[in-house]
């Protein structure tokens, strides 16, 4: 078995997902790029094979709204690389006119991903443990009038991550859960968001503070290095900062 760590990245064929895949390849990871756009994933993988070797990256179809697709991704990754160390639940959309689809992709996708990771990687199921990183958003902490459904889904991802990232789950399964929470980033998702929000007079693509996908992807490397269970890392143009859980007086959990 190769000593190189193995990661699955959903939505890994473009935008932040592609940047994450490249950063992981630079760190000697073997990667399964899982994406609903298989042809785009295959084209991306073929490009990276020229740089990092054909034995280090594969593509797989995955509709994150279907738990069975996650199983297929995990099975293929295990057949190819013989282990799984990291899952990055990255796939996401902005589509305020289709709230159910937003929730299914942005929240149910990471839920299915976490559940599948627990089945395959969890020590209670015979696994080796590992790390799950859920791509949330700065919208997981603050209100944004343009995209209330998107905000709700990302708040859910932060809550999901923090709840699985508790001592109970770690003691049981040995998996660290963390959330990547980027601010506005120069991706196709943001550049085309004007037609997918509840306001047409506010164009996210015109913002002067859009970050590069490479800057965001380096946040994943920080999460992998820091290994802080239940953490949520805000990525802004100014840098990388962990956002602590808000404490409420007289509330005990």
Active site members: 150
Strands 239-242 and 231-236: antiparallel
Contact 16, 94 (CB under 8 A): no
CB atoms within 10 A of CB 76: 18
The SS3 call for residue 132 is strand
Q: Quick one: DSSP state of residue 104?
A: I
Q: In terms of Cα–Cα distance, which of 41, 1, 37 is closest to 21? A: 41
CB atoms within 10 A of CB 234: 22
> Tokens standing for 33?
């790029």
Cα dihedral value 239, 244, 245, 248, nearest 10? -120
∠ CA 21-81-55, nearest 5°, is 65
């Amino acid at each position: 078995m190769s000593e190189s760590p193995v990661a699955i990245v959903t939505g890994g064929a473009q935008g932040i997902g592609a940047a994450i895949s490249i950063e992981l390849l630079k760190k000697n990871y073997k990667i399964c790029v899982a994406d609903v756009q298989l042809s785009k994933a295959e084209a991306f993988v073929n490009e990276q094979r020229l740089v990092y070797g054909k034995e280090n990256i594969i593509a797989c179809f995955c509709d994150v709204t279907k738990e069975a697709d996650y199983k297929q991704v995990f099975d293929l990754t295990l057949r190819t690389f013989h282990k799984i160390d990291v899952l990055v639940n990255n796939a996401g959309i902005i589509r305020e006119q289709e709230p159910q689809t937003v929730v299914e992709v942005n929240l149910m996708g990471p839920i299915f991903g976490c559940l599948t990771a627990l089945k395959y990687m969890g020590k209670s199921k015979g696994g080796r443990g590992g790390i799950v990183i859920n791509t949330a958003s700065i919208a997981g902490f603050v209100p944004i009038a343009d995209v209330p459904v998107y905000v709700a889904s990302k708040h859910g991802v932060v809550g999901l991550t923090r709840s699985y990232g508790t001592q109970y789950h770690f003691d049981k399964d040995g998996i660290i859960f963390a959330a990547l929470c980027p601010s506005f980033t120069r991706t196709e998702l943001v550049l085309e968001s004007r037609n997918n929000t509840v306001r047409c007079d506010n164009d996210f693509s015109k913002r002067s503070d859009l970050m590069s996908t490479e800057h965001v992807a380096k946040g994943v490397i920080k999460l992998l290095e820091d290994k802080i269970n239940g953490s949520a890392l805000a990525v802004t143009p100014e840098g990388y900062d962990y956002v602590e859980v808000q404490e409420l007086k007289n509330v005990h959990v």
